[in-house]
Amino acid sequence: MTIEVIAPEVEFAGVTKRYGNGPTILEGVNLEILKGEFVSIIGPSGCGKSTVLKLISGLTMPSAGTICVDGMTPKNARETVSYIFQDATLLPWRTVRRNVALALELEGAPTDRREEKTGALLDLVGLRAVADAYPRELSGGMKMRVSIARALATNPRLLLMDEPFAALDEMSRDRLNEEILRLRTEQNWTAVFVTHSVAEAVFLSTRIVVLAPNPGRIYAVLPVDLPQPRTGALRTAPEFDALVGKVAHTLREARSQEQRAEAKLDQEKRDEASSMRRAR
């Protein structure tokens, strides 16, 4: 048995995020993501799921607390991080091949390496046949494959995915989920994956972080002890269903936190009002 040194790839220490004087998006988030983990972040809408990714990528700065990525500040670590957005964000004026090459081009990779790498990636995600097509000619699933290939072109250690399959039909989504797992086995990156779908989170992850809203905070962290490598057959296994049920239950609890918080707030307001009446 080999002993691996396990160092955190991403580390959140007491992270709070607030935009200006607006409401607090995230409060007191402590989280360690280890190398090789596939962590899904799930939670009701408005709980700051996407903000977690924006913070890891340095696209936004925390109001309090610190974030380390591979021992560096998020901005300095960008070279080894790739981001996959909900919409495929392809440049419509570039062919599939030149879209995949974009990240390498921006980072100044020499042409021959760029072409070699792009060709290999097109094979990897099964897009060789449409390499010279423009994005508008592709289906939603194919566009997302291009987006994935572009993200992988720079050999990232860390892949951030913000609901990448939310706009796809269930069949394409399932297929791309399996593809993502296959690519991860081959390339060994760490992943932080934001999703609305409990089943998707369970299928992909080694760990699921459940957020509670208002303000966004970690409600629970659930390990996913399903065997690796995973295949589509897993979706019909009873232990998969059991875990999906458990995560869905936790998610419901997290959401009811919000209602309880709102009820508490209402009660406080009522108390305040009645005490003011009394004072008068």
Site for other proteins, rule CB under 8 A? 57, 59, 78-79, 81-83, 85-87, 89, 91-94, 102-103, 105-107, 134-136, 154
- Residue with smaller CB distance to other proteins, 122 or 158: 158
Q: Give min distance, CB of 214 to other proteins, in A.
A: 24
Residue 133 CB, nearest approach to other proteins (Å) = 10
What is the smallest separation between the CB atom of 87 and other proteins, expressed in angstroms? 7
Supply the minimum distance, in Å, between the C-beta of residue 9 and other proteins: 16
The whole-angstrom separation of Cα 136 and Cα 275 is: 62
In the bound state with other proteins, the residue whose beta carbon lies nearer, of 75 and 260, is 75
- Cβ distance to other proteins smaller for residue 65 or 85: 85
d(CA 44, CA 23): 16
R_g (Cα) of the chain, nearest Å: 21
Find, among 208, 210, 234, 235, the residue nearest to 220 by Cα. 210
As measured in angstroms, the least distance from the Cβ of 93 to other proteins is 5
| Amino acid letter, residue 262 | E
Among the listed residues 12, 3, 24, the one whose alpha carbon sits nearest the alpha carbon of residue 74: 12
* Angle, helices 111-124/140-152, rounded to nearest 10 degrees: 140
**Is 134 or 175 the residue whose CB approaches other proteins more closely?**
134
Phi, psi of 214, deg, nearest 5: 55, 75
In whole angstroms, the minimum distance from the beta carbon of 256 to other proteins comes to 32
**Alpha-carbon gap, residue 160 to 82, rounded angstroms:** 6
Query: Within its chain, how far is the Cα of 106 from the centroid?
Result: 23
Q: Which DSSP string do the residues of 200-212 spell out, in sequence order?
A: HHHHH-SEEEEEE
- Closest CB to other proteins among 81 and 202? 81
Is the distance from CB of 165 to CB of 88 less than 8 angstroms? no
Between 67 and 198, CB nearer to other proteins: 67
